[in-house]
Amino acid sequence: MSKPALREEAQARPIVERSPSTWALAWRRFHRHKLAIVGSSVIAILIIGAVLAPWLTPYDVTDYNLQKLFGPPSLVVPADPALAGPCIRPAVLFWRCGMHPFGTDDLGRDILSRVLHGGRVSLLVGFIAALASTLVGSLLGALAAHFGGKLDAIISRFTDIMLSIPTFPLLLILTGLLANRDLPLSAYLSDLLGPAKSIVVIILVIVALSWMGTTRLVRGEILSLREREFIDAARALGASHTRIILNHLLPNTLHLIIVQATLMVGEAILIESGLSFLGLGIQPPAVSWGNMLSRAQEFFYYPNGFYIALFPGLFIFLTVLCFNFIGDGLRDALDPRLKGRGFTP
């Protein structure tokens, strides 16, 4: 075939361009949100450090060294091997036995090791509590908006009642009651869960008192969605209530749910830290950023005692701030109503 004929055939051939998927467009908008990218990078580093903490730390978090109390941050390895203290391995990457980049606490324990291990508990509580509370709130909001009537009235009034109760005093009451070993439920949980009781109790209490915001957001969105044509079509085709909620309503509120869950992680970490700081959260020997702060308040005026509180407090601040940046970036990326705010592809 001659070149003119090939050219004519190419011109006559219809041009079909494949448009990018919704998630590809969302990623482009999210990628342009610089603070969200920075926050995601920091959170990824924190998660890797927390997951690999047993292999990244040359010290056991429970072993103490009375010869190195209140040590300042230092990258110098002491010449005397006795000052290095008990080490589970001689060196990890740049971090050698006897080196304390964040200093040591009132018992000579390495603060960096405790911060990394504490991140495992704090991030675990944050992620599980955020996921569970978001699931509970989303399902309640979807049920209330889809069925309406008495069920909507009951769920909405119960949500309003829970929102009207001061959250932090109720948190203190619930955690205090569940920590009381004289109560049958507390004794049963202690026998059932053992050392993990305080972690499970904190997660359950946070979930019980933090689902209301998600419920109201999802309910409001589904109230507008349930009148749309595709929902009428699903009903006409005989779709069950469960199918309509799970396959049509909740997926169309996913942008709200993801953003709310992201912000809830930071809120859950703050709640756990506050309760642990007051002595009602994660209990030793488990380590969390909150109970590290709780112990540090006794030593603010000791030489180098400031570092015991500085580093866990700094990690809490960075984690919550980065999750807020991520939530803001996800809101701009996933909410179709915000496409005109400078993040369109």
Instruction: Write the pLDDT tens digit of every residue in 164-200.
Output: 888 777 777 777 777 667 777 777 777 777 767 778 8
Scanning the structure block, which residue is given the tokens 């949500």? 159
Residue 99 lies in a domain: no
On the question of a cis peptide bond just before residue 285, with omega within 30 degrees of 0, the verdict is yes
The answer to whether 137 and 218 have CB atoms below 8 angstroms apart is: yes
Is residue 108 a part of any domain in this protein? no
Q: How far is CA 120 from the centre of its chain?
A: 11
What CATH number is associated with residue 211?
1.10.3720.10
Residue 295 lies in a domain: yes
**C-alpha closest to that of 253 among 240, 244, 264, 241:** 244
pLDDT tens digits, 325-335: 998 888 888 76
205 close to 125: Cβ distance less than 8 angstroms: no
> In this structure, what are the phi and psi dihedrals at residue 100, rounded to the nearest 5 degrees?
-130, 85
**How far from the centroid of its chain's Cα atoms is residue 308's Cα?**
24
* 74: β partners: 100
Within a domain: residue 130? yes
17-49 per-position pLDDT tens digit: 455 666 677 778 888 888 999 999 999 999 999
Flag whether 265 is in a domain.
yes
What is the predicted pLDDT for the residue at 297? 81
User: In the structure encoding, which two tokens stand for residue 336, read together?
Assistant: 């179709």
Amino acid at 56: L
Q: Which residue has the tokens 């001689």?
A: 90
Residue 260 lies in a domain: yes
pLDDT higher than threshold 50 for residue 341: no
| CA pair distance 8, 108, nearest whole angstrom | 82
Domain that holds residue 179: 117-338
- Indicate whether 55 belongs to any domain: no
Q: Are 198 and 281 in contact (CB under 8 A)?
A: yes
pLDDT at residue 68 in the model: 82
| Cβ atoms < 10 Å from Cβ of 258 | 18
Predicted confidence at residue 153, as pLDDT, reads: 93
Flag whether pLDDT at 295 surpasses 50.
yes
* Confidence grade of residue 1 (pLDDT, cut at 50, 70, 90): low
The two most distant CA atoms of the chain are separated, in Å, by 94
What value does the mean pLDDT of the chain take? 81
pLDDT number for residue 234: 82
- The answer to the question of residue 51 being in a domain is no
Count the domains in the chain. 1
pLDDT at 134 over 90: yes
Q: Which residue has the higher pLDDT, 283 or 37?
A: 37
